[in-house]
Amino acid sequence: MQLPTFGEVFLTTDDVQGGLENLKLFKGKLISSLCGGCRKLFVIEEGIDNQGIISTLHSPEHDEYDKTFSQDSNNLQSFDFKGSIKTIVTGKKHTVFLSDQGDIYSYGYGEYGALGHGGIIELTIPKKIIRISKIDTIACGEYHTLALSNGDLFAWGRGFEGQLGIRKDVETAASPMFLSYFYKNRIKMIACGAYHSLAVDQQGILYGWGEARFGQLGTGRKVSEQLPSRIDFQIEQPMNQSALRVGKFLAQETNFKVVSISGGYGHSAAVTSSGELYTWGFNQRGQLGNGDKDKKSSYYPKRLMQDISGIQLPGFSKVMCGYYTTYAIDLKGGLWSWGGGNLGHQNDKLVDLPRKIVLEDRKFTNMYANGQAAAFFASLRTISMKPNHGPSTGGTIISLIGTGFCDTGRQSARFKLGDIQTEVGCEYDSLTDSFRCTTPNFEEFIDKYPVECVVEVTLDGNVYVECEQKFLIYSSKIVISSLYPKCASIQGGTTLIININIDDLTASYMKHLNVGFQPRNKKKEDKSAMKQSTNKPLNPLDLSINDPELDKENWMCVEGFYEKGKISCTIPNVSQLQTDSLNFNVDISINGQQFTGNPMVFRFYDIQIKELQPDNVMSEGGASVKIIGDGFFDTTNKRVIFKTMFGERLIEIMWDKQDRFYSFVAPPLSWLLGGQQPTSELLNAVKASGVTALLTLSGIEWIPIGTFYYIDPEVLRLGPFNFDEKLPEEQKQQFIHQEEQEIDPLKDLQGAELQKKKDELQKVLEAEEQEINYFFKKAGQYISVYGENLVNTESLLVQFIFNGNMAVNQKAIFKNKSKLIVQIPELELPTGLHDVGIEITFNGTSFSHSGKVFKYMAFDKSLNEQQKLKLEDEEMKKLKKTQPKKK
């Protein structure tokens, strides 16, 4: 780790059956180092309140000298160390630690000079090694130690296998000795295996020395290397264009640099600057990760290409070797392991190919492994915010989602925009392991929007971790410009389009929109609650559109979707909502939490269609039709549509505010043929099926209003309607109003019988015509009206036309599809005979044009019955004179 930081420490040991345990103790602590060696693991914390605290992760029995170091121990009063410990490394029987001042201390057993204090064999109290100072890095094998000071490398301890690299004749060193091999070549990185050493110079070139019998130096089949030897890398495939072929190896040039190294008991591993991972050496437990089933040692570095599933490996940043295990961190912070031992895979302790340890959302930055266990550090992450945008007036409740969060009592979030910054406290939610904070009023120090600001989280008020998402501050002045449609059925289900003028940056954040519907009071609208929406959140964290918090202001919310300046949503069903008004406020919540406070009015309707008056017209149209019902109101998008098998026709309608009905003028039937040339076949097809009529108030949603018919009434002739006047009144009325069955009198007749029947019918027809043309009818008498395709409707009328433009309508009685009867009304005419025309209508407005007439006898009201009879006789004599003579 570059600097002390917050995060999580994970441990894999026998105690968790090779799984991975999250050590909760270290949450909220500043961790500066994971370190150890052989059988020990340490966590070093650093910070204002926990400076210099060291925690052991190994079992007490591994402290062989039973003198565990503690600055608070009374037994160590002579130890006058005042600084902070930077790192600790351990061999098999000795411990070395490095202070933040660059001093090193050691204690334990000094076999082979491992303590670096000359001939001292045992130290129970850490003692400063005075021969070297300003140390940057230290590393330990089982019995030897390396220390790096400003590029100069020192070694001491056991060197029988050549692991000291001082000179060929130096097998042990009781005090630190300079490696003259690197006199003109500064070293920047060191590592130790059990009995071998590794180093990387400033150019990224890797060197190895010490034991080599397992191939752990990567320089071929050798027993050992007494002096540092350059390690070259085998070419498996071209790694970069500047690679230089030297036999079967790749000479390390400027672009090929080693950035991470580690040594195990008998194997080694390295990562290059391009993320390639190489291993070599002992492979008995699969620790090389090359999938070799024979577990043969590899005497040269070989690049690992695929994981246990056969998928190409990602790039890596760091590698760490345990005794028989290997761990690596990829460029995205993912953790991998393989080999034989505790691998973090829960009971799977033998893996010969790299396998990823799956831990959701963690990004690992450091690790340390020893002979039996390994510890891993995942830095505190603030991965995302929900929501990650809010209005400039603040008040947005943000959920900060990440890893490594805990309640320290000092956690806070800082909003930064250039040199401007403001900080707010955070609450820890233990259920979701997240932080929650409320955004401040940004308008106090920012005046241009939208802007993206950086959000940083701290657990102690000193060390801050930047959120991986930016927070967008958008203008509180964003408003809805229009709605389409402006009304909908209480059943909902249709799509509402909301037009909004918004900048592209704010629009790019609009992933979790809410559209709110709020009943408006019939009293004068109070917008105070709406205005508050911009200053305080209406819903809590992780807002749900069904959240009960919304009920406080009677909001019903649905999810919205933004695209190209428009927000769309499905209009909710409000039929069960208890409200005294169907007028609603509609507002949007850009961040899924706060409304704009500037709603637009939306109208729900509950339309109940009762009838069309009339429900039929003649083919030429032009008649006015009323739509009668409940729940009607005026809108700009009100229309009626007529649908036939050939197409549809949109019809403008009018609103009668006083009587609250809609009306329209019926179009001609020929307009409903889909542009086809009107023929009798097409017209008759529409007449037979009727027209489907629908009403819209929104332009989107269509309400069925019934079937509409085109009927052309036609009068063929008039005739008498006779019945026995002596019948009782009840029987008389029954006879008048009873429908007559239509019978074909010529059915089943043939030849002479057929002709005879035709002659009889013709005589009857002539007699009826004679009666109509040469006899008169009086008010109160009945007359028959014969036609074709007559229809029994509520508005079936007969119109009596007289004096040119005067007319009286009388309710007709339907007898069958070819006959009506009607009682002649009293007509305001002067005494005498008059020609009176008869026309019929099925809808009460559109009448036939037959021109049929009959003789009507009118009487002055002052005449008595005797005078009337006399007048009838006189008029009848006149009529008889006009009759044609019989041949």
> What confidence category does residue 276 fall into, taking pLDDT thresholds of 50, 70 and 90?
very high
User: Is pLDDT of 537 > 50?
Assistant: no
Cα–Cα distance for residue pair 732/730, rounded to 1 Å: 5
Least confident of 6-10, 508-512, 530-534: 530-534
Listing DSSP states for 234-266 in one string gives E-SS---TT-EEETTEEE--TT--EEEEEE-SS
User: Is pLDDT of 610 > 60?
Assistant: yes
What pLDDT was estimated at residue 69?
A: 43
Reported as a single tens digit per residue, the pLDDT across 640-668 is 999 999 999 999 999 999 999 999 999 99
> What is the H or E stretch that residue 717 is in?
strand 715-720
Helix (H, G, I), strand (E, B) or coil at 228: strand
Which of 229-238, 594-603, 878-887 is predicted most confidently?
A: 594-603
Going through 83-169 in order, the beta strands assigned E by DSSP cover 85-90, 94-99, 104-109, 122-128, 137-140, 144-149, 152-158
User: Is pLDDT of 160 > 50?
Assistant: yes
> What confidence category does residue 548 fall into, taking pLDDT thresholds of 50, 70 and 90?
very low
What pLDDT was estimated at residue 62?
A: 59
What pLDDT was estimated at residue 530?
A: 42
What integer is the mean pLDDT of 238-250?
40
Cα–Cα distance for residue pair 400/380, rounded to 1 Å: 12
What pLDDT was estimated at residue 580?
A: 81
What pLDDT was estimated at residue 878?
A: 87
Task: Read off the tokens for 707.
Answer: 């079937």
What pLDDT was estimated at residue 879?
A: 86
User: Is pLDDT of 52 > 70?
Assistant: no
Task: Read off the tokens for 321.
Answer: 């070797």
Contact 399, 434 (CB under 8 A): yes
What pLDDT was estimated at residue 71?
A: 44
What integer is the mean pLDDT of 600-625?
92
What pLDDT was estimated at residue 726?
A: 86
What pLDDT was estimated at residue 2?
A: 53
What pLDDT was estimated at residue 528?
A: 42
Cα–Cα distance for residue pair 290/305, rounded to 1 Å: 8
Contact 208, 219 (CB under 8 A): yes
What pLDDT was estimated at residue 61?
A: 61
Residue 726's Cβ-count burial label (10 Å; 0-12, 13-18, 19+) is: exposed
What pLDDT was estimated at residue 83?
A: 73
Reported as a single tens digit per residue, the pLDDT across 680-735 is 999 999 999 999 999 999 999 999 999 999 988 889 999 999 888 888 999 999 99
Task: Read off the tokens for 113.
Answer: 């000079």
Express as a percent the part of the chain with pLDDT over 90. Answer: 72
Q: State the amino acid at position 836 in one-letter form.
A: V
Q: Of 713, 587, 696, whose CA–CA distance to 636 is shortest?
A: 696
Strand order in the sheet with 298-303: 258-263, 267-272, 277-281, 298-303
Cβ-Cβ contacts under 8 Å for 661 (sequence gap 6 or more): 626, 627, 628, 629, 632
Cβ-Cβ contacts under 8 Å for 362 (sequence gap 6 or more): 8, 333, 335, 378, 381, 403
- From first CA to last CA, the distance across the chain in angstroms is 132
> What confidence category does residue 549 fall into, taking pLDDT thresholds of 50, 70 and 90?
very low
What pLDDT was estimated at residue 578?
A: 82
Full set of structural domains in the chain with CATH:
381-474 (2.60.40.10), 480-605 (2.60.40.10), 608-710 (2.60.40.10), 715-741+753-880 (2.60.40.10)
What integer is the mean pLDDT of 593-601?
92
Helix axes 865-882, 751-774, angle to 10 degrees: 120
Going through 142-231 in order, the beta strands assigned E by DSSP cover 144-149, 152-158, 172-178, 187-192, 196-201, 206-211, 224-230
Backbone angles phi, psi at 21, to 5 degrees: -105, 130
Mean pLDDT score of the chain:
89
Which of 144-153, 568-577, 593-602, 671-680 is predicted most confidently?
A: 144-153
User: Is pLDDT of 66 > 50?
Assistant: no
Q: Please name the residue that has the structure tokens 């290059």.
A: 272
In the DSSP assignment, the letter for residue 306 is B
User: Is pLDDT of 126 > 90?
Assistant: yes
User: Is pLDDT of 240 > 50?
Assistant: no
What pLDDT was estimated at residue 520?
A: 87
Express as a percent the part of the chain with pLDDT over 70. Answer: 90
What integer is the mean pLDDT of 507-518?
90
Q: Please name the residue that has the structure tokens 């940056």.
A: 505
Task: Read off the tokens for 717.
Answer: 């002739």
User: Is pLDDT of 553 > 60?
Assistant: yes
What pLDDT was estimated at residue 392?
A: 95
Reported as a single tens digit per residue, the pLDDT across 731-764 is 999 999 999 998 888 888 898 999 998 999 999 9
Task: Read off the tokens for 466.
Answer: 């930047």
Contact 305, 317 (CB under 8 A): no
What pLDDT was estimated at residue 155?
A: 98
Q: Of 618, 605, 547, whose CA–CA distance to 571 is shortest?
A: 605
Least confident of 50-54, 580-584, 733-737: 50-54
> What confidence category does residue 128 fall into, taking pLDDT thresholds of 50, 70 and 90?
very high
Q: Is the pTM of this model over 0.75?
A: no
User: Is pLDDT of 211 > 70?
Assistant: yes
> What confidence category does residue 544 fall into, taking pLDDT thresholds of 50, 70 and 90?
very low
Cα–Cα distance for residue pair 217/193, rounded to 1 Å: 10
